[in-house]
């Protein structure tokens, strides 16, 4: 098999190599079949971004003889030579895109022959993913930002059929602990889309920063978006050590609209998160009247420290009204289908000790503060659904609070609330059995803020290790889930918390190559064999070409791969693409000299062992 076909990541359901090559350049016509205009636009957008080699004779901009609808053109009329409804096959040298009613929205069939390419997609997302597969079949230079000298490009011939197993294939980034500018988020979105990841969960608020402009309450971004210093020692280390440099930043509503639009063009859905009712120090520094219980000595402040703090928003109606205004601003800029509302790590003592909140709980007929916590999350979820048409997502503590008592509907989660399970797969299963759709996000192996190897060369991290091999071995549905619970598994997601990740170079180091492994697992819906010694993931059995395949594309039967190629080689191939793109990943054999932790504040420390973390979280999440 051609090396490029064998290095696809994630690996398709079926790959059938064929002899020959298809020459492709910026003047290759891309024609849309009936009803396929949006799909063709999505495909063209990817090809338009490619740095076609200078020696092809067709520079990407204003190429002589370039035809409307060519590979480098954006939405255009059907390419010359293709008539609507034509069934005799596309003309030579052309790419045709059709919509297949038998395919899911993100599915596609890609038939590459020496003279033509035919793509059938379930929708625009399927066509976009077909284009990403085409890009991976090109030389690594296709990942650069501008052309470099080299031979003209060509694609290996073959048949590929593909669709994802899981609908939610996510990446989470905490921009509250450390702020990442808009341009860096856009670059991250490109790396996610290339791996067919389709959710970008942006953690926008926490104790250490509020990152959203508010025109109604400007104190939120004027006060809540920055702190005077930042802790650079681990939580358990004494004395605490700080970097005495201010840190901050926020996104304007226009920035967030741009980020959302940029992501949507790449089939990535932006999932904004506003933490309620905990992790609220930055909010309360700007809006202290929304706090519960007595304010801390000296008043609320944006925290320079990490950890769990006792400062909660009040669950009273004025807080709900305030949040309604904030969500109206945010969702006016970001047309989000999903909104994460947090709900995690809430120390409820300030609610229990506040007479006004206790009276409100009794008025609602709720027995405990935990039921009030679940009821508050339900009220916010109801508001999001009824006013903005969005579904709420919560961390799994929201589900746990809802099942600690029997307070009736007011003390339970809204049934369509999605539970993001981070404290292990047992609570994920219980949430699914209770009727909630679930996203698998367990600390082991999806928390990429943990270091990647037991090696003193690794830079500072909260603990570890979580290796790329651990990610590859992940079972999103866990072992022994009942069929009914497994059917409610919506997807899987990796998390990057940024207490110890201060810039984009460090972020890319912690994300890659582990994000490659998570993309594979989420696409195929199960573990992937890391090397040839591990159990292979069965591919499609050998078969014949698809019925009706045009001559020159699949004219003869061709065996499909029976076993997916091992993931280690395919990750290595993708890292070469990231080299061309300028992404500063961690090499598979360890950090480069300048990526090491050294002997200063970023030196490696063992931190918390991941085995101890999982035991502790299992105990916390136990029923």
Rounded CA gap, 450 and 602, in Å? 14
Confidence at 60, pLDDT banded by 50, 70, 90? very low
* pLDDT tens profile 527-543: 999 998 765 444 433 33
What's the average model confidence in pLDDT over 604-616? 94
- CA distance from start to end of the chain: 51
Q: Tell me, what's the pLDDT at 108?
A: 98
pLDDT of residue 450: 98
When pLDDT is cut at 50, 70 and 90, the band that residue 317 belongs to is: very high
213/313 same-domain check: yes
CB within 8 Å of 526: residues ≥ 6 apart:
165, 475, 476, 477, 537
Domain boundary residue, one of 126, 148, 163: 163
Tell me the average pLDDT across 158-162.
98
Q: Does one domain contain both 269 and 390? A: yes
Looking at the fold, whether 159 and 174 belong to one and the same domain comes out as no
* 206 and 154 both lie in a single domain: no
pLDDT digits (tens, 9 = 90+) for 331-384: 999 999 999 999 999 999 999 999 999 999 999 999 999 999 999 999 999 999
pLDDT, average across residues 84-102: 72
Residue 540 lies in a domain: no
Residue 92 has pLDDT above 70, yes or no: no
Question: Do 176 and 122 sit in the same domain of this protein?
Answer: no
Position 534 scores a pLDDT of 63
**Which pLDDT score is estimated for 535?**
52
Tell me, yes or no, whether 115 and 238 share the same domain.
no
- Decide if 566 is inside a domain: no
Task: Decide: 446 and 395 in contact? Cβ < 8 Å.
Answer: no
pLDDT over threshold 50, residue 579: yes
The interaxial angle of helices 124-137 and 182-194, nearest 10 deg, is: 80
Domain harbouring 115, CATH code: 3.30.379.10
158 and 172, same domain (yes or no): no
Residue 184 has pLDDT above 80, yes or no: yes
In a domain, 376, yes or no: yes
Question: Is 405 found in the same domain as 315?
Answer: yes
For 218-242, what is each residue's pLDDT tens digit? Answer: 999 999 999 999 999 999 899 999 9
pLDDT greater than 70 at residue 66:
no
Q: What is the pLDDT of residue 74?
A: 41
Rounded average pLDDT over 293-301 = 95
DSSP of 247-262: EE--B-HHHHHHHHHH
Residues 505 and 366 in one domain: yes
Domain interval for residue 192: 168-530+594-621
- Whether 570 is covered by a domain: the verdict is no
* Residue 605 maps to a domain: yes
Q: pLDDT per residue over 76-90, tens digit each?
A: 333 333 333 334 455
pLDDT for 549 equals 34
Q: What is the rounded distance in angstroms from the CA atom of residue 562 to the CA atom of residue 560?
A: 6
Q: Tell me which of 138, 163, 188 is where a domain ends.
A: 163
Is the domain of 88 the same as that of 188? no
* Domain presence at residue 77: yes
CATH number at residue 601: 3.20.20.80
Alpha helices in 455-581 (DSSP H): 468-472, 483-486, 504-511, 514-524, 567-581
What is the pLDDT at residue 546? Answer: 33
Let me know if residue 617 belongs to a domain.
Answer: yes
pLDDT score at 90: 53
Residues 116, 215 share a domain? no
Last residue in a domain, options 134, 163, 192? 163
pLDDT digits (tens, 9 = 90+) for 387-439: 999 999 999 999 998 875 555 566 789 999 999 999 999 999 999 999 999 99
The total domain count for the chain is 2
User: What is the percent of the chain where pLDDT is above 70?
Assistant: 88
Query: In terms of Cα–Cα distance, which of 409, 401, 406, 446 is closest to 427?
Result: 401
- Indicate if the pLDDT at residue 17 is higher than 50: yes
């Amino acid at each position: 098999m051609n090396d490029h076909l064998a290095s696809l990541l994630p690996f398709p359901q079926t790959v059938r190599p064929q002899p020959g090559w298809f020459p492709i350049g910026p003047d290759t016509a891309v024609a849309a079949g009936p009803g396929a205009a949006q799909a063709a636009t999505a495909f063209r957008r990817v090809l338009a971004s490619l740095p076609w080699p200078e020696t092809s004779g067709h520079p990407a901009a204003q190429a002589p003889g370039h035809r409307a609808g060519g590979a480098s053109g954006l939405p255009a009329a059907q390419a010359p030579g293709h008539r609507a409804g034509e069934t005799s096959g596309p003309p030579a040298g052309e790419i045709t895109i059709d919509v297949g009613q038998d395919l899911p929205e993100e599915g596609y069939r890609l038939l590459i022959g020496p003279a033509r390419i035919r793509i059938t997609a379930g929708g625009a997302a399927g066509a976009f993913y077909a284009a990403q597969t085409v890009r991976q079949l090109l030389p690594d230079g296709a990942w650069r930002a501008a052309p470099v000298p080299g031979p003209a490009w060509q694609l290996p011939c073959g048949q590929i059929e593909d669709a994802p197993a899981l609908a939610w294939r996510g990446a989470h980034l905490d921009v509250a602990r450390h702020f990442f500018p808009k341009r860096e988020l856009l670059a991250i979105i490109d790396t996610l889309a290339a791996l067919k990841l389709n959710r970008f969960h942006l953690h926008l608020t926490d104790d250490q920063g509020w990152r959203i402009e508010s025109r109604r309450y400007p104190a939120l971004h004027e006060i809540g978006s920055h702190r005077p210093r930042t802790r650079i020692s681990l939580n358990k280390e004494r004395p605490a050590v700080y970097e005495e440099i201010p840190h901050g930043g926020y996104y304007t509503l226009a920035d967030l609209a741009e980020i959302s639009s940029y992501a949507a063009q790449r089939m990535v859905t932006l999932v904004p998160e506003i933490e309620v009712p905990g992790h609220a120090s930055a909010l309360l520094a700007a809006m202290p009247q929304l706090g519960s219980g007595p304010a801390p000595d000296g008043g609320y402040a944006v925290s320079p420290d990490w950890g769990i703090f006792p400062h909660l928003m009040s669950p009273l109606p004025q807080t709900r009204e305030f949040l309604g205004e904030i969500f109206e601003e945010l969702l006016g800029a970001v047309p989000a289908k999903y909104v994460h509302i947090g709900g995690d790590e809430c120390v409820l003592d300030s609610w229990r000790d506040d007479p006004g909140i206790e009276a409100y709980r009794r008025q609602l007929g709720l027995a405990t503060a935990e039921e009030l916590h679940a009821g508050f999350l339900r009220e916010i979820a109801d508001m999001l659904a009824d006013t903005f048409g969005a579904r709420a997502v919560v961390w799994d503590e929201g589900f746990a609070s809802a099942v600690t008592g029997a307070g009736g509907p007011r003390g339970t989660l809204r049934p369509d609330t999605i539970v993001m399970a981070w404290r292990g797969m047992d609570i994920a299963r219980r949430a699914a059995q209770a009727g909630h759709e679930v996203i698998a996000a367990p600390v082991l192996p999806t928390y990429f803020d943990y270091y990647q190897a037991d090696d003193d060369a690794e830079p500072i991290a909260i603990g570890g290790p979580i290796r790329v091999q651990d990610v590859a071995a992940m079972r999103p549905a866990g072992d022994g889930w009942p069929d009914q619970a497994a059917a409610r598994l919506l997807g899987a997601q990796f998390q990057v918390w940024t207490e110890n990740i201060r810039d984009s170079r460090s972020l890319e180091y912690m994300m890659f190559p582990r994000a490659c492994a998570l993309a594979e697992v989420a696409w195929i819906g199960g573990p992937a064999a890391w090397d040839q010694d591990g159990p292979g993931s069965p591919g499609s059995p050998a078969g014949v070409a698809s019925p009706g395949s045009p001559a020159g594309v699949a004219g003869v039967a061709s065996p499909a791969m029976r076993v997916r190629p091992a993931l280690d080689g395919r990750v290595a191939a993708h890292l070469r693409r990231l080299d061309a793109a300028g992404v500063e990943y961690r090499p598979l054999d360890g950090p480069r000299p300048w990526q090491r932790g050294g002997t200063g504040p970023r030196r490696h420390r063992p931190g918390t062992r991941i085995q101890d973390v999982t035991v502790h979280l299992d105990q916390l999440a136990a029923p």
